[in-house]
Chain A
Amino acid sequence: GAGVSQSPRYKVAKRGQDVALRCDPISGHVSLFWYQQALGQGPEFLTYFQNEAQLDKSGLPSDRFFAERPEGSVSTLKIQRTQQEDSAVYLCASSSKIKTGTYEQYFGPGTRLTVT
């Protein structure tokens, strides 16, 4: 595709509900990242995949957060038993190169999650 796409663009969940956020990276990009952006803040790293392998999940705030990328393409970020503090924009980014740290990440439009 032309860019990184994310769905849904907006999600309202009642506290305690489970949600699943989808990311379609740019075709052929091996690296995929998830970030969380709270209101008025910069994006914060959640997790990183290289192909289907989850290489870094140090940013996941709790065990309610789970991410997968089973076929090395589409990724899903799942949040179980949502809490109000989970309200944020969830950004997905992908990149084509493997060499650590020296490549551009292309961002999707984000999913705005509101937990009521």
Chain B
Amino acid sequence: EAGVVQSPRYKIIEKKQPVAFWCNPISGHNTLYWYRQNLGQGPELLIRYENEEAVDDSQLPKDRFSAERLKGVDSTLKIQPAELGDSAVYLCASSLDRGVGQTEAFFGQGTRLTVV
């Protein structure tokens, strides 16, 4: 079974430029998460999808960040314009959540973003 696939693995951009990250979750997983992980810290949730609906985006900086999950499968996370403080690892995860019998979240390898 293929895991969560993220691309690119690394991205270096100049500040004020746009950037996009892509995530392909595990087939059949209805829940998709985007997390941001700063150096030496734990992941912090940016947005969570249930199928194609964003059910928790309270931590997403909406002035510059946007996300979408087309047809409830793949997802993209965009930053426009990027700031120096956006440098971090962006992690995507998916899980199959059906009430009782929930599974754990499976993570991709993340995208390391460096804004210069």
The judgment on whether A and B are partners is no
List residues of chain B with CB under 8 Å of any chain A CB.
Answer: none
